[in-house]
Chain A
Amino acid sequence: MLELPSPPRVRLAEFTRRYAAAEAMARRYAAAVQAAEGTPEYERLAAEWPTVLAMLDKVCKACEVGARTAARAKRRRKGSPRAVKLHQVHVALVALEKAVDAAVAAAVIALLDATGPTASRRAEADEWLCALTSALNELEHSVVWIADEGSDP
């Protein structure tokens, strides 16, 4: 199931660590889906996996654009094109982290619910799944914004 996009072929310079962080988040999401296997929440978590992969791909492209922009803008000052690109990628990372947090929480509840003696916590899991959808929407908007800007040469 874990089919991460090919890593960027261009040199990402300072954006390498940003892309690596996004990839680590995607791996954590995949682990959460795997942990929820056999529970009612599995289908919903697995259904969002392609979205996570698509977002990771877009973050990758944003990093490529950022690296090109940074190479042109030598100076590290606030408001420079490089700073703007860094900030945009960071905002996307925050949104992705929130999405993965929500997925992990839903998976943990589903797992404990399915196997433990405690009362059902489906409602709580549903709340986390809603948080996941919301975070992915937020992420989608932030990366679309980056990609739109990044489409220029």
Chain B
Amino acid sequence: MNAEPDAWAPALGFGYWRVVYAECCDAVLAYDRIVATMPPGAVRGRLLELRTELSVRLGSAARLAELAATLYAAWPERDPALLELLADDPVKDLRKELGTGPPDPGLREALLDAREELWRVAEDAARLAVRLRENPIATDVPTWLSGLATGVATALAAGTPAGHLEDG
């Protein structure tokens, strides 16, 4: 997984984590479509610059999703095969000895945060594009752009796990 994450070709997989990561990709795709609708110019150029940083955030989301899929494969449940065995115990139902699901001290939350941040950036870009379309000579564009850049910076500052899985 050394290649740059590509929102147009998400990693293969299935299940809960795949869906959340796909939603992260959707946010980046939405951003790309918004930028594509904008007329050439300085604003569009700046949005294209910020797109590179979104790829970095998408990459960290991909690593989180891969890690989660490895550590919590049957989320939010435990491995159904294990539960079936424990339920079949001849003495007592041992499923009760385990909690309802595996404990997650924040991995899911970190991935959901990434998704939310990416969507916030895409929505800000959409608002900026609409504003420019409605008023091509708007004077507050720098403020909007600055807000968008801040959103991207916030997304990048959030958890960015090192590429442990890349080494595996």
CA distance A117 to B157 in the complex (A): 7
Residues of A within 8 A of B160 (CB): 115-116
Interface: B90 (CB within 8 A): yes
Task: Pick the residue among B71, B97, B159, B162 that contacts A28 (CB under 8 A).
Answer: B71
CA distance A10 to B129 in the complex (A): 68
Contact A31 B71 (CB under 8 A): yes
- CB within 8 Å for A35 and B85 given contacts A83-B90, A87-B91, A108-B105: no
Classify the secondary structure of B's interface with A: loop
Contact B162 A38 (CB under 8 A): yes
Per the CB 8 Å criterion, the residue count for chain B at the interface is 33
- CB within 8 Å for A78 and B85 given contacts A24-B79, A105-B104, A112-B110: no
Interface: B39 (CB within 8 A): no
CA distance A117 to B114 in the complex (A): 13
CA distance A37 to B163 in the complex (A): 10
CA distance A44 to B67 in the complex (A): 20
Contact B94 A91 (CB under 8 A): yes
Name the distance in Å between A101's Cβ and chain B's nearest Cβ. 5
Contacting A at CB under 8 A, from B96-110, are 97-98, 102-107, 110
Name the distance in Å between A107's Cβ and chain B's nearest Cβ. 8
Residues of B within 8 A of A18 (CB): 85
Task: Pick the residue among B82, B105, B165 that contacts A109 (CB under 8 A).
Answer: B105
List residues of chain A with CB under 8 Å of any chain B CB.
Answer: 17-18, 20-21, 24, 28, 31-32, 34-35, 37-38, 76, 78, 80, 82-83, 86-87, 90-91, 93-94, 97-98, 101, 104-105, 107-109, 111-112, 114-117, 121, 124, 128
List residues of chain B with CB under 8 Å of any chain A CB.
Answer: 67, 70-72, 78-79, 81-82, 85-86, 89-91, 94, 97-98, 102-107, 110, 157-162, 164-165, 167-168
Sample of 11 more A-B contacts, CB < 8 Å, known A31-B67, A90-B85, A114-B161? A35-B71, A37-B164, A90-B86, A98-B98, A101-B102, A105-B104, A108-B71, A112-B105, A112-B159, A117-B157, A117-B159
